[in-house]
Structure 1
Amino acid sequence: MTVWDRPEPPNRPAPLDRERIVAAALALADEGGLEAVSLRKVAARLDAGPMRLYRYIATKEELFDLMVDAVQAEILPEERPGDWREVLRTLAHRTRRAALRHEWLADLLGGRPALGPHGLALSESTLSALDGLTDIDTAMRAVETVSSYYIGAIRREITNLRAERATGLSKREWQRSRGPHLTRALDTGRFPALSRAVREAADVDPETSFATGLDWVLDAVSAKLLPPPA
């Protein structure tokens, strides 16, 4: 039985419900990451006894499920986008923006299927956009392919942001600090392809890189869904 299958207990002796519990957990996670979240800390934030929370949520994993579903409500677009490409593109970009607001989300993306109401609504919206274009197995592989790209890209971006904060150095400052070592390595001539990339490749911002890679993945998926006529 999931947390959504269990009814909430009465609001006594003081007002408390899952919505307030999840809001407090979200605030803790936004401030200090998932490691800052526990039922004890959430109870303290709400000025409630920890045992009261167990009447609403049985485990920390259930709390994480509720937190993810709350953020998925932010990801759901108010209006359905146009064709299947726009649906998947919108999902990817809205997930990225949600993860930048709630960095802890990157640690939970790509786990078990989300079974909360907003997670199910996202899945329904995504799969229905592909309905009629292909068989269900191909549609599932298409969604998995696109989500694998944006989940990986989001995790990499969040990891870089965390590393930047941990070192106290911006990307350019870090590059300058490691520059002499990299220059010596490249000057050996052992890494010609890497040398060219370092010296000639354009330095693009994360959003541009994300959007470009996403378009390439969507192009590849499109070729499978809509193969050219023989």
Structure 2
Amino acid sequence: MTVWDRPEPPTRPAPLDRARIVAAATALADEGGLEAVSLRKVAARLDAGPMRLYGFISSKEELFDLMVDEAYAEMLPEEQPADWRDALRSHAHRTRRTVLRHEWLADLLGGRPALGPNALAVGEATLAALDGLADLDTMLRAVETVGSYCTGAIRREVASLRAERATGLSKHDWQRASGPYLTKMLNTGRFPTLAKAVHDGTDVDAETSFATGLDWVLDAVAARLTRPST
């Protein structure tokens, strides 16, 4: 039985429910990552005994499932665009913004499918955007392909942000610090293509890079979509 199937216990002697538990755990994760989340710390934030939480959740993994599903609520579209590209593009950007608000979510993306009600609603909206444009397997592979791109790009962006905080160096500070070594290596002539990229390539911000790559992926999906014959 999943956590969504189990009824919540009575709230006495002190008001407590899964929503408050998830909100407290999410706040802890937003502040210090998933490693900052424990049932003891969540209970302390709620001024409750740790054992009381086990009436609502059976494990920390179950708590993570609830936190992920609450984050998925932020990805739900207010209104579904009629055009499939607009729908998938909007979903991708909502996903990125949600993860940047809750960086811990990057560590939980890409594993087993999320099965909470909000995650299912997001999955329904995403797949429905392609309904009727191709056979079911093509639709599934299209959604998986876009999702894989988003997961990889977002995780890389979050990893970069974490590195900046860990080192205290911004991207440009790191580039300046690494410049002499990189220049020396490129001047050996062993890496001509990399040298051309470093000297002549355009440096773009993370959002622009994400949007550009996403459009290329959507172009590839478009090439695979064909309307069924009538």
Same fold (TM over 0.5): yes
Aligned-partner Cα distance in 2 for 1:47–1:79: 39
**Which moves more between the two structures, 29-38 or 127-136?**
127-136
Q: Normalising by the residue count of structure 1, what TM-score does the alignment of the two structures yield?
A: 0.97
Q: Which residue is equivalent to 1:13?
A: 13
> Is the aligned partner of 1:112 residue 2:131?
no
Identity %, equivalent residues: 76
Aligned-partner Cα distance in 1 for 2:136–2:122: 17
Q: Which residue is equivalent to 1:210?
A: 210
Aligned-partner Cα distance in 2 for 1:82–1:13: 49
SS at match of 2:133: coil
Task: Report the AA paired with residue 221 of structure 1.
Answer: V
Q: Deviations over 1:80-139 (max 9, x none)?
A: 122111111111100000011110010001111111110000011111111111111111
Q: Please give the residue correspondences for 1:125-144 in structure 2 after superposition, counting only pairs within 5 Å.
A: 125-144=125-144
**Which moves more between the two structures, 78-87 or 49-58?**
78-87
Q: Which residue is equivalent to 1:56?
A: 56
Q: Which residue is equivalent to 2:75?
A: 75
Q: Which residue is equivalent to 1:37?
A: 37
Q: Deviations over 1:132-158 (max 9, x none)?
A: 111111110000000000110000000
Offset of residue 200 of structure 1: 0.4
Aligned-partner Cα distance in 1 for 2:135–2:2: 30
Structure 2, unaligned stretches of length 5 or more?
Answer: none
SS at match of 1:104: helix
Q: Which residue is equivalent to 2:223?
A: 223
Q: Please give the residue correspondences for 1:138-217 in structure 2 after superposition, counting only pairs within 5 Å.
A: 138-217=138-217
Q: Normalising by the residue count of structure 2, what TM-score does the alignment of the two structures yield?
A: 0.97
The root-mean-square deviation of aligned C-alpha atoms, in Å, is 0.9
Aligned-partner Cα distance in 2 for 1:38–1:170: 31
Aligned-partner Cα distance in 1 for 2:149–2:226: 20
SS at match of 2:103: coil
